[in-house]
Amino acid sequence: MPNRVGIAKLTHCGDIILERLHSAPDFVERSGLSRVLETSGCDVIESKTTTLSAEEENQYGAWNRLGLASHHLAEIVGDQLRRNLFTIGLLPTCDGVMGMLGGFQKSGQNAKPRKVGLIWLDAHGDINTPETTPSGLLAGMPVAIAAGLCLERLRKRCGLEVPIPTRHITMVGVRDVDSLEQEILDESEIEHVTADDIRELNPIITKQMDRLGEISDIIYVHVDIDVLDPKDIPGHGLPSEGGPNVSELGAAFEIMFRNTKVGGLGIAGYPVGRDPDKVTLKSVYTLIEHAIRGVKSRTR
């Protein structure tokens, strides 16, 4: 796995207001990702993009089309993992996590769903439900959906047949949470690594990776780039003060991805069209480089 990479791109998101981000995965790839991976000593075995049939494109509703596209993403990711590729998911928004998790869940060699651990790196909890959300955006609900707290039909449409138990989730760098969302977190079994823990490379990072490794068959690491210090992600629409800088998170990545249960990385939230100096793009590539270093260090 350390030298063999598959890229999986989702080009749909569930919120009309965020449709401008649909092109972000293609932009992140074509702006130099292959070069970054090759310089890191990786072979890019394939790059696949979700596509909807004409019939699927004509189906009503952005959420519904996201579900259809995410199901295709799950098929791509599951196939890559079964072929022992390290999967990098390029996602417009965080609601792409459901298709990624669906693929990880289906990545075994038989029909039995694998137990998946989720490392959620984001400034936001994204665990609102339709009853608690102040914004109404689906992009603020994907963790709740993945955990089986709401929108069961959408979760299954996305390819995630079995909810992810909250004890299989660790949130990293979360610091901007709505009041009702905090109530959901307090009632869950989700565990947390703070931004300060990242900055200090606190041993809790390794402890959480080991914890998830013990109870999971495979681990997926999901990153919304707003987990970073706003200075490293200019142009992002929802920056949040207090995050680690890209070097600090990169160092933590090398620890996280050293765990042999980690099968891939998903990156969401690149502000395509609002990064003229490519500072944010450089941050994305830096995180990928550190993740690959962690994966490759498994063989040392």
List, for residues 220-244, the tens digit of each pLDDT value.
999 999 999 999 999 998 889 999 9
**Model pLDDT, residue 237:** 86
> Residue 256 to residues 148, 219, 298: CA-CA distances in angstroms?
26, 10, 11
- Using CA atoms, how far apart are residues 113 and 71, in angstroms rounded to an integer? 15
Residue 235 is classified by DSSP as T
Q: What is the DSSP letter of 36?
A: H
Tokens of 264: 């891939």
The CA–CA distances, whole Å, from 76 to 34, 82, 85, 236 equal: 19, 10, 11, 28
How many C-beta atoms lie closer than 10 Å to residue 120's C-beta?
28
Averaged pLDDT, 24-48 = 97
> Can you give the pLDDT at residue 6?
98
Read off the tokens for 25. Answer: 């995965």
The strands making up 116-121's β-sheet, listed across from edge to edge, are: 43-49, 4-9, 86-91, 262-268, 218-224, 116-121, 169-172, 191-193
* pLDDT tens-place string over residues 269-293: 999 999 999 999 999 999 999 999 9
- The domain total for the chain is 1
Residue 56 pLDDT: 92
Evaluate if residue 18 carries a pLDDT over 80. no
Band (15; pLDDT cuts 50, 70, 90): confident
| pLDDT tens digits along 124-162 | 999 999 999 999 999 999 999 999 999 999 999 999 999
Neighbours of 198 (CB within 10 A): 25
Instruction: Please report which confidence band the pLDDT of residue 263 belongs to, taking 50, 70 and 90 as the band edges.
Output: very high
Tokens of 99: 């298709």
The predicted model scores a pTM of 0.97
> What is the bridge-based pairing of β-strands 4-9 and 218-224?
unpaired
pLDDT value at position 300? Answer: 52
CA 206 distance to own-chain centroid: 19
- Give me the mean pLDDT over the 251-258 stretch: 98
pLDDT of 2: 60
In whole angstroms, give the CA distance from residue 76 to residue 100.
Answer: 9
Note down the domain range covering 89: 4-299
Please give the distance of CA 293 from its chain centroid, rounded to a whole number.
18
Give the Cα separation of 102 and 166 in Å (integer). 16
Residue 207, domain CATH: 3.40.800.10
Question: What is the residue whose two structure tokens read 């490794």?
Answer: 213
Q: How far apart are CA 166 and CA 131, in angstroms?
A: 19
Supply the pLDDT for residue 16. 75
Neighbours of 207 (CB within 10 A): 13
